Structure 1
């Protein structure tokens, strides 16, 4: 019988193209990936890989297997969800990925609520950016992604996944409290900025927004950590665009104001379609919605 986990590795090879990239995504060594694929080939009884230079490519038989793997995994997800729903208690382990500001704000409240409501449910949390988070969700490394979508950025949720919106989170211009204000963007052309890296959606959006205002930002600190950005503003070293989710303790001794047009990012959760009815997913989403109502400035 074909091993489902090895089918997943073959599917990742079809997506990634190289054994090294599969190993990176799945947190394996390349030799371990090769070993698992060799065992799958033995189970299948037909060649699945062909050498090409220093790499490999999938055979026609392998591509047939990959075409069916998503169907198999969705059915297994649904079967797992149905079995879990037959129990009167919500239990097991739920693997959740989240980004910085969610980790620092709504997630702790959600974890407290889950512990009180469902003491037999264990939640494991992984800090991942949006690309690796969805890679891991597709590869069954994680069960739920807490994500954010910035203005004018493409929807990162992939086919075969289900998205549930949490709330919109206004984006604020934050300056040190002893600076004169409010500050129109035009006066900040020479200011030092703390900004997300350009390869992240937030970093791309802030640079576009400033560019539309005729500003090429002088970047003091290129960091994906909004708490570090907030600290640099608080200590008088930089200005930044920071989500309102962090207003409060993290932005004391700063001045926050709305940006032109009142832009906002959208927070959501995403799971594989076969897991939408899983009791653990539903319980965690309910706790997260309760936490959002407490923490969100929009709710």
Structure 2
């Protein structure tokens, strides 16, 4: 059996992730969370990583022994290191800033190598300079298998997701159009991100130049993988509301959700309120992109959020009003 054949077996999709009913106060509205924290590496980035590897192998860019390189941090690096280890490939990730054990340890535990670079925007040139294949999750943003799986489980009226590379909203929108479905796609966008103003102004080259405080989503520029023509609505979400919504997910489900998941929930509740005001009913799905114990020391910790200037309590009452235990 060839290495490529074995690799494609390693990269085969796993079992579907579950849907969680989240009670909402708006009559006639059903809200489901698609729990991507059940992926083997705990986040939606698992699908992104699988798709990037599959595309690179199919294109002949990665083969047995190829050094795989990426410029990123957090969940994306962990997911890519997981697949690289199972494929027997060396993996190097260039991360922004100074080394922290919290970021390096999960990747190194999977056999990956972490290198840290300053200033942060230098990570991309540093990755391209290495002798290996640069996965380039922002430049390539390979479509993944979420849409096929989701629409086999439920036929929602709206799907709400955050945007990092833009691959998820593009994958969902393309699937909906290819299959002539009536579902629509909403992107939840945090503060400082370029997607909401870029989409509103029809400016594909829009840039804020400011980093997002919400791990996993929001970009200082509109990335090539973001397809505004496949998105029906972009909803801006205050960072404090994202954090409050992540805490509400934990209260209702027990899952220590990341703030990116909170961003999607807040936007979904905003959308549910608009639907109810128009006398509409229907089903919404919000992506629960990740949940991990490490979030307990950040987004779920009062001292941490206070140090970041995030007034979480300002949004807590509204969330409890919109959702019911």
- TM score, norm. by length of structure 1: 0.26
The structure with higher relative contact order (CA 8 Å, sep 6+) is 1
- Which is strand-richer, 1 or 2? 1
TM-score (norm 2): 0.25
